[in-house]
Structure 1
Amino acid sequence: MLNISPNKLNEKVDLSGYKAVKKVFYRTHYKHFNRLLATFFIIAFIVMFLPWTQNITGKGYLTTLKPDQRPQTIQSPIPGRIEKWYVREGDYVKKGDTILFISEVKSEYFDPNLVERTGQQIRAKSMSVTSYEEKVKALNAQISALSNERVLKLEQAKNKLIQSRLKVQSDSIDFEAAKTNISIAERQYNRIDQLQKEGLKAVTDVEEKRLKLQETQAKLISQENKLLASKNEVINAQVEINRVQAAYTDKISKARSDMFTAQSNQFDSEAQVTKLENAYTNYEMRNNMLYIRAPQSGFINRAIQSGIGETFKEGDRLVGIMPSEYDMAVETFVEPIDLPLIHIGEKVRIQFDGWPAIVFSGWPNVSFGTFGGEVVAIETFISDNGKYRVLLAPDKEDGAWPKDIRVGSGANTMALLEDVPIWFELWRQLNGFPPNYYQPENGMANVKKK
């Protein structure tokens, strides 16, 4: 236990005679300190009512305004093997300049005369198409001739049928006349025979009438034969009409069958010609693809595939290129809670990495080394980093961006929102509230801040 004395030193020793004690316990400096504190609180109170520009900070990097101006890689649409390089990294190339030459690795394209031989096949098939066209024309002419000949043959057979029917009528009349003659001859013979029996006529007259009767009977039989022959000719004429119709129908059908076969062969040959022409064009385009050319003017960044004899697949990246002409932009990211406060046309201050700057986020007017930007695009889907992507373009009403900045370098951004008192901003920050929510007319911000 400590042995502390109850004696009080300050009651026995007078400290006021010492200079150090006078400086320490001198009461005058409290008055200056109180004045200083009062002045500070008055200034702080006044500052609390000064305007403060609410802002949303973000971090991004430099990019280009248009997608076709951004760094890209050149791919080969066909597999191949590197044979020769025409550029090196850092070279400037114009649009269409050859970067490298590749060769084929597929066996079906090894033939160096593949295009010429395909052209020969096209010419041969084209001649085959022409031959089939001529054959179709000849068969059409043959069908036309057979059709005309059938018409004539049918007319001829019909005329013969008409003649046969007229002959039947003529022979029928003659047959009826022969019947009449035989009736007359029989009556005459019977009358002469009766007169001879009565002794009025001689036997010679009877025999003469008998002979005449027999001749008349023979003519009747002859006329009957002629009539039957005429009827048979009518039947033959009808049969001939059917035969001509059937014969020429068969000939025309055969000619049409040959024509359709020729047309089918012609169409098949035309399809083969079209297929060969397609292959010919593909081979020509594939040969042009053996020379990898620059899609636009720019600088060769890096050779992704290098060496000679190295093989690659179709779609593999070969070389990277940066376009020489581009419009700078900044790609920044904002928190989801701040996204409703960002609108197209919003003014933004940008600080580029490596560029000296003195930034006062609440007083952009006194910031130094920052540059103006304007919101031109807002992504509607969240990015992989959990934030929303915003694209900024140079503000035309502000100073130009530095010429020495490059695509890919970092940038810090401040989107300028409403002006509020400092006490309100402190109160918002302490409570963790977002900046004032507001919605500009027509969805376009028209607040101009510098």
Structure 2
Amino acid sequence: MRKLESIDKIYHIHKKNNIKKWFIIFFVFGVVVLFLPWTQNIKVTGKVSTLYQDQRPQQLNSPIPGKIIKWHVKNGDFVKRGDTILQLAEIKDAYMDPNLIERTQQQVTAKHGVRSYYQAKIATTDSQIAALRSVRDLKLEQLAVKVDQLESRLDGEKAELQAIEAELSLSEDQYNRQKKMYEEGLVSLTQFQQRTLAYRNAVAKRAFAENKIMQTKQDILNAAIEQQATRQDYAEKLSKMEGDRFQSLGQIENNNGEIAKLENQMANYQVRQGLYFVLASQDGQVIQLNKSGIGEILKENESIGTVVPSDVAYAVEISIKPVDLPLFKVGQRVMCIFDGFPAIVFSGWPNSSYGTFAGRVIAVESNISPSGAFRALVVPDSESKPWPPQIKIGTGTQGIAILNDVPIWYELWRNINGFPPDYYMSESEKQALKK
């Protein structure tokens, strides 16, 4: 039976077995694998966005209400900043006059002319006021001279009165002696009558001199009253002219306000005419045009379409669970996988993955979103290969946040026990924290 071939193939009792050797080899290999390095990581999701607001898709809005009269683009066209998208026509009756700006300019010119007339009137009033003050001063000087003359005449009349009084005193003394002598019969009646006449003439001269003094004083008083009346009269005239002058100044200021208002209206009309052409706000592609033809009415600020920028500094917005938030920090490395781009990923060995693109966290928001996650921004890593130019804003993204390097056995033990990844800091961060 030992010579039968079937017996040799069925019974292996005396055959040499390699199972033990292979078991030892696999066991040693497994032990070695357990000590290989493994990169801890966190898987996140997000979408492609941009850092700058002016590089996001911009809505095209109608700045004024109007009627579409011409389209210059269609869906999918690429435009440059300032290119005309469409042309509008006015629908408000307040702006339909084709010569609106010219007519407003005529109103402004007319207001300027009115202001010039009032300025000329003010100049004339100033000349009249100056002339009136000059006449007033001249007349007051004349009255002052007259008063001086009257005062000088009064001084002379007073001196004359003193002389007459001295003469009267002498004449009175002579009259009294003559009267006594006449009573004693020493002089004739004729002589006494002559002396009496001389005495009465002296009395009359004194009365006449006193009357002259009183008249001169009255003239001085009248001259002073005339001076005051002259001042009052010319003050009234000057007040009236100055009132007219201030009224003209008020008209000029009112006119200036009307001119400013009209110029503001004219500037608004000019700007509004420039708004009849809706222009592209940036370089990009026109999409989602939602008005279909000529003659449609647009409301103020109504959306017309969207312009997607051509030149964009891409970034990725990733969502972070609150439990993973302490493991994220600025400068952290994130491997990005974009939808539509094939990738072979070894999460524990990111350097061996294919189709992933490296990025760095530049900001982590401190406020949680309504979806219950925190948001972080990731930009391309300048030290790695650039991101593919074919990606667009809104493209879905999966991210792998790179954490600490640990042995595989430690990672298995951590996952079996449900522990979170290690929170670690670099040496420079540790030194800064200690300081």
Name the TM tier (shorter chain).
0.7 to 0.9
Alignment-derived partner of residue 126 in structure 1: 112
Alignment-derived partner of residue 167 in structure 1: 153
Structure 2 residue corresponding to 1:106, chosen from 76, 80, 92:
92
Note if 1:237 corresponds to 2:248: no
CA offset at residue 290 of structure 1?
Answer: 1.2
CA offset at residue 182 of structure 1?
Answer: 3.0
Paired residues for 1:50-449 under 5 Å: 50-192=36-178, 203-440=189-426
Alignment-derived partner of residue 433 in structure 2: none
Distance 2:37 2:133 in 1: 105
1:109-167 per-residue CA deviation (whole Å, 9 max, x = no partner) reads: 22222222221221222222222233333333433443444333333333322322222
1:32-52 per-residue CA deviation (whole Å, 9 max, x = no partner) reads: 556555544433332121111
User: How many residue pairs align between the two structures?
Assistant: 426
Gaps of 5+ in 2: 431-435
**8 A contact 1:331–1:389 mirrored in 2:** yes
Moved more, 200-209 or 228-237: 200-209
Q: Which amino acid aligns with 1:106?
A: K
CA offset at residue 99 of structure 1?
Answer: 0.8
Output the TM-score relative to the length of structure 1.
Answer: 0.85
1:214-242 per-residue CA deviation (whole Å, 9 max, x = no partner) reads: 43333223212211101101211221222
CA offset at residue 21 of structure 1?
Answer: 12
Distance 2:64 2:370 in 1: 32
Structure 1 residue corresponding to 2:35, chosen from 49, 62, 84:
49
Q: Which amino acid aligns with 1:315?
A: N
Q: Which amino acid aligns with 1:159?
A: V
CA offset at residue 404 of structure 1?
Answer: 2.4
**8 A contact 1:344–1:443 mirrored in 2:** no
**8 A contact 1:394–1:400 mirrored in 2:** yes
CA distance change for structure 1 residues 248 and 287 in 2, over 3 Å: closer, same or farther?
A: same
CA offset at residue 416 of structure 1?
Answer: 1.0
CA offset at residue 202 of structure 1?
Answer: 5.3
Moved more, 128-137 or 145-154: 145-154
Moved more, 331-340 or 226-235: 331-340
**8 A contact 1:377–1:390 mirrored in 2:** yes
CA distance change for structure 1 residues 23 and 235 in 2, over 3 Å: closer, same or farther?
A: farther
Gaps of 5+ in 1: 1-18, 445-450
1:29-85 per-residue CA deviation (whole Å, 9 max, x = no partner) reads: 996556555544433332121111111211222223322122111212222222211
Paired residues for 1:15-30 under 5 Å: none
1:227-260 per-residue CA deviation (whole Å, 9 max, x = no partner) reads: 1101101211221222122222222222222222
Moved more, 224-233 or 419-428: 419-428
CA distance change for structure 1 residues 20 and 252 in 2, over 3 Å: closer, same or farther?
A: farther
Output the TM-score relative to the length of structure 2.
Answer: 0.88
**8 A contact 1:196–1:202 mirrored in 2:** yes
Moved more, 47-56 or 77-86: 77-86
